[in-house]
């Protein structure tokens, strides 16, 4: 059975360059703090405070580089704290219709996002070559098995193929905690023929 890296993404957001400037000042550029497993992607030094009528959460990490849409990715635990009901969406696709908004506060300014809060559909990133090796295709769903005290098998893991991607499963913190993952682990990829979503 194929082994794949499994990583946990804490709550984070992607910003347009316009929103970067609203929050951090005119002509501000996001500053890489730590490079991520996906090429060119980084955790930025910049953080924000997310605010809803129910609560606020500080120190939420911005991921870079700037994108052509602003999107906030939170866990369901976060969603309940915020009093929001975001849908589960493919975080690599721009589909923010019907998603709730949120207030975002940065060092130099703030903005009221009208929509853009999602919970991420758990997914496996792979490059074209890795997809061939693993026998998976873009848009397919697979299963990922995690061993240990809180061992489990995640079903309905979305495969995303892209020339830039490096092989890694991305879970949110609820999923990572439910599986007892600290940091990252190696999981087993289970590919079934004619698997139903």
The nearer residue to a copy of itself, 84 or 111, going by C-beta atoms, is 84
Out of 15, 111, 113, 154, the only residue in the binding site for a copy of itself (CB under 8 A) is: 154
Instruction: Rule CB under 8 A: say whether 156 interacts with a copy of itself.
Output: yes
44-48: list long-range contacts, CB under 8 Å, 24+ apart: 46/20, 46/106, 46/107, 48/13, 48/23, 48/104, 48/105, 48/106
Report the C-alpha gap between 83 and 56 in whole angstroms. 10
Q: How many residues bind a copy of itself (CB under 8 A)?
A: 24
Tokens 């690599």 — which residue? 92
The secondary structure element, H or E, covering residue 174 is helix 173-178
Q: Is 40 left (phi over 0), alpha (psi -120 to 50) or beta?
A: left
Instruction: Rule CB under 8 A: say whether 122 interacts with a copy of itself.
Output: yes
Tokens 């984070």 — which residue? 12
Give me the least distance between CB of 78 and a copy of itself, in Å please. 9
Instruction: Rule CB under 8 A: say whether 191 interacts with a copy of itself.
Output: no
Out of 45, 92, 174, 188, the only residue in the binding site for a copy of itself (CB under 8 A) is: 174
Site residues for a copy of itself, window 18-57 (CB under 8 A)?
Answer: none
Instruction: Rule CB under 8 A: say whether 186 interacts with a copy of itself.
Output: no
Provide the CB-side half-sphere exposure for 101 (13 A, CA): 7
Instruction: Rule CB under 8 A: say whether 178 interacts with a copy of itself.
Output: yes
Q: Which residues bind a copy of itself (CB under 8 A)?
A: 75-77, 80, 88, 121-122, 149-156, 171-175, 177-180
């Amino acid at each position: 059975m194929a082994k794949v890296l499994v990583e946990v993404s804490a709550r984070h957001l992607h910003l347009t360059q316009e929103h970067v400037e609203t929050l951090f000042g005119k002509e501000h550029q996001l500053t890489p703090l730590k490079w991520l497993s996906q090429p060119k992607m980084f955790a930025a030094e910049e953080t924000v405070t997310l605010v809803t009528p129910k609560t606020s959460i500080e120190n939420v990490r911005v991921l870079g580089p700037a994108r052509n849409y602003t999107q906030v990715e939170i866990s369901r635990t976060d969603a309940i704290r915020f009093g929001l009901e975001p849908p589960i969406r493919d975080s690599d696709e721009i589909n923010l219709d019907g998603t709730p908004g949120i207030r975002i506060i940065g060092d130099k300014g703030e903005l009221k996002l009208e929509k853009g809060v999602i919970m991420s559909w758990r997914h496996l990133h792979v490059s074209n070559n890795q997809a061939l090796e693993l026998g998976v295709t873009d848009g397919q769903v697979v299963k990922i098995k995690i061993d240990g005290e809180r061992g489990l098998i995640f079903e309905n893991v979305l495969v995303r193929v892209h020339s830039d991607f490096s092989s890694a499963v991305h879970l949110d913190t609820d999923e990572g905690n439910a599986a007892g993952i600290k940091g990252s682990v190696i999981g087993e990829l289970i590919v079934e023929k004619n698997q139903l979503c």
